[in-house]
Structure 1
Amino acid sequence: MLLSFPNWLIHISSSLEWGIAAALMYHYGQLRGRKDIKRLGLFMLPHWIGSWFVLAYHVSGDTIPLLLDLSETVNLFGSLFLLWATIGILNTIKATREAGAMGALMLLPLIAGRPASFMGEDIFDLILQVSSIVYISFLVTLLMIRKRDPGLLSGLTVGGFWFVLVFISVTVFCMYLATEVRGYASLSHDDLLHGGAESLLCLSNLMIVLGIHRQIKSFKQGG
């Protein structure tokens, strides 16, 4: 296995945090009597499953690319489910003029047509690109929900979901540094950069968990 023990701790922690976030979101929906919020918690599970495919890939010593392909495919469905869940929540909240403008922004990536694949014509590369577009649409929908009903979802939770984009950007940059500058075969071979990038995902998931926990605590105190 290529990962060091500290790197394994970071990877496992980020996966567990997402699972905890899903459970807390479902519990939050139960407390509020909101099926749509419970659905959001349930629809976080595909991404959690996808993270375990990534862990399995690292367990194999990065020798079974099919596991990464499966992770990308599951994450695509996960992003679609998250978008579906947040649109459902959005439909229960009275629209405002500002939110309507953001709705038009959300549709831009969806009507832009088939995205160009920068990694070739392979179907799983295309899946990764489409998944990214859908996830960004989900993020914009979260902002719309936050705009219409600031008390429904914690700003820390919304920020945590958005911080995933920082993780992705830094990971891409670290991949370039590891392979093109430092001469490693892949990012996984550069334990320092790999662990540093993955720690950002751990941070984003922690933000989501703490934000949901804050909402649960606030709702119980208010109730």
Structure 2
Amino acid sequence: MLLSPLNWLVHISSSLEWGVALVMLYRYGRLIGRRDIRRFALFMLPHWIGSWFVLFYHITGDTIMRLLELSEAINLVGSIALLYATLKILQGEEKREAKPRTAFMGALFGGVMLAAGVDEPGYSFLMGKSWFDAVLQVSSVVYLTFLVLLLRVRKKDPEAFSSLTVAGFWFVLVFISVTVVCMYVAIHVLGYQSLSHNDFLHGFAESLLSASNLMIALGIHKQHKLAERQLRA
């Protein structure tokens, strides 16, 4: 296996943090009696499952590429699920104001523009160089659309998510950006076969995902405690 014990700890912690956040959010939804929040929590499951496929991929020494491809496909399903769950939350908030379709189209446009901003020469924006690249591109647009809508949810319905949780979801973009940079340095500057072959850079990049998931979990914990105090009052 390519990963050191410390790097394994970071990877496993990252996955566990997402799972804990999922359970905490579901419990929070039950506490405040909101089905849409519980639905959102359940729709976090695909991303959690996808993270374990990545772990299995590393267990094989990064030799079974199909596991990594499956994780990305599952993450695409997860991003679509989170987008749908967010739309359902907005639907409840905006039914007295405007159709959530307007918010969705605006967010989709924002997601496409953000994704287009990271396009590279010789790289097809819509399809990439393979079906795997296409999945990554579509997943990026869907997730970015979800993030834009999440900001709207935070503004319209502050009970749903704390600002720290929203920041945690957005911090994933930092993780992705740093991972891309670390991958470039590891492969093109230091001459490694892949990012996984440089334990320090790999662990550093993964620690940012762990930080993101921790922010999400802590934000949910904060929201849960606030709701408990309000119910006691």
TM-score range, shorter chain: over 0.9
Contact 1:157–1:212 (Cα < 8 Å) also in 2? yes
Shift of 1:125: 1.3
* Whole-angstrom distance in 2 between the partners of 1:196 and 1:35: 37
**Partner residue, 1:93:** 93
TM-score by length of 1: 0.92
Shift of 1:105: 3.2
Shift of 1:149: 1.9
Query: How do 1:51-62 residues align onto structure 2 when only pairs under 5 Å count?
Result: 51-62=51-62
Contact 2:45–2:78 (Cα < 8 Å) also in 1? yes
Are 1:15 and 2:15 counterparts? Answer: yes
Query: How do 1:15-94 residues align onto structure 2 when only pairs under 5 Å count?
Result: 15-94=15-94
Tell me how many residue pairs correspond in the alignment: 221
2:176 to 164, 168, 175: 168
**Partner residue, 1:182:** 190
The change in CA–CA distance for 1:110 and 1:11 in structure 2 (over 3 A counts) is closer
Query: What is the RMSD of the two structures over their aligned residues, measured on CA atoms?
Result: 2.3
* Whole-angstrom distance in 2 between the partners of 1:102 and 1:158: 17
**Partner residue, 1:146:** 154
**Partner residue, 2:121:** none
* Whole-angstrom distance in 2 between the partners of 1:189 and 1:154: 37
Are 1:108 and 2:109 counterparts? Answer: yes
Shift of 1:85: 0.2
Tell me the secondary structure at the aligned position of residue 209 of structure 2.
Answer: helix
**Partner residue, 2:119:** none
TM-score by length of 2: 0.89
- Identity percentage of aligned residues: 59
**Partner residue, 1:196:** 204
Contact 1:102–1:140 (Cα < 8 Å) also in 2? no
**Partner residue, 1:220:** 228
In structure 1, what residue type is equivalent to 2:156?
R
* Whole-angstrom distance in 1 between the partners of 2:202 and 2:195: 6
- Residues 159-208 of structure 1, C-alpha deviation per residue, up to 9 Å, x if partnerless? 00000000000000000000011111000000000000000000000000
- Residues 115-155 of structure 1, C-alpha deviation per residue, up to 9 Å, x if partnerless? 83599431121011100100011111110001112233100
* Whole-angstrom distance in 2 between the partners of 1:122 and 1:63: 19
